[in-house]
Amino acid sequence: MKALTQAAVRKSFINASRSQTAAVNFPADFDTIDWENIDQYGWRDHKMPQRAYLVLDVEGKTTTVLLRAPELVSASKKALCALCEDMESDDDVFMFVAPKAGPAGKNGNSVGTLIHSNFSCAQNVRSEPKPDPIHPDPELVKAERARRLQERTVQFVRKIRS
């Protein structure tokens, strides 16, 4: 991804009102993010814990999605993240819900998907894979994981836009 400013992120929301984008609280380390080495960036709003945000590049355009984070969660059952499909991570996975873009969202329609609670997908796909004789080159495995993460995340964004 290209380097982003807070203003650029605010302008790139596809499913939030102006007042919602103005109320976004960015993480303290936002200005130090290494944008060139990540595929997407997500965070939970520290002042509004039920809000979360996901920023990614969709067809060359920065796209940000407003998500509703779960209120009360039980970590007793493990779930598979729908974006990175990482089975090794110990991070919790929760259902995040995004209002649909446009009139559908204003009418209350939404789309949900399972995502790591700490938005660790970009790191998970780049973790060292276990040795595998079928896929011996770890760099190819990581590149394929990153490609699939991007593909699944873009599919989720398309559902929000539809």
- Model pLDDT for residues 22-62, shown as the tens digit of each residue: 999 999 999 999 998 888 999 999 999 999 999 999 999 99
- Model pLDDT for residues 59-80, shown as the tens digit of each residue: 999 999 999 988 766 656 788 9
Rounded to 5°, angle at Cα 139 from 63 and 151: 30
Confidence of residue 94 (pLDDT cuts 50, 70, 90): very high
d(CA 45, CA 21): 12
Mean pLDDT of 95-121: 95
- pLDDT, residue 131, reads 85
CB atoms within 10 A of CB 109: 14
- pLDDT, residue 17, reads 96
List the alpha helices (DSSP H) in 14-92: 18-22
Give which of 132, 135, 141, 42 is closest to 86, Cα–Cα: 141
- pLDDT, residue 78, reads 80
pTM, whole model, 2 decimals? Answer: 0.90
d(CA 86, CA 124): 7
- Residue 51 in contact with residue 67, Cβ under 8 Å? yes
d(CA 127, CA 34): 17
Mean pLDDT of the chain: 92
- Residue 112 in contact with residue 98, Cβ under 8 Å? yes
Amino acid at site 45: D
Mean pLDDT of 103-112: 95
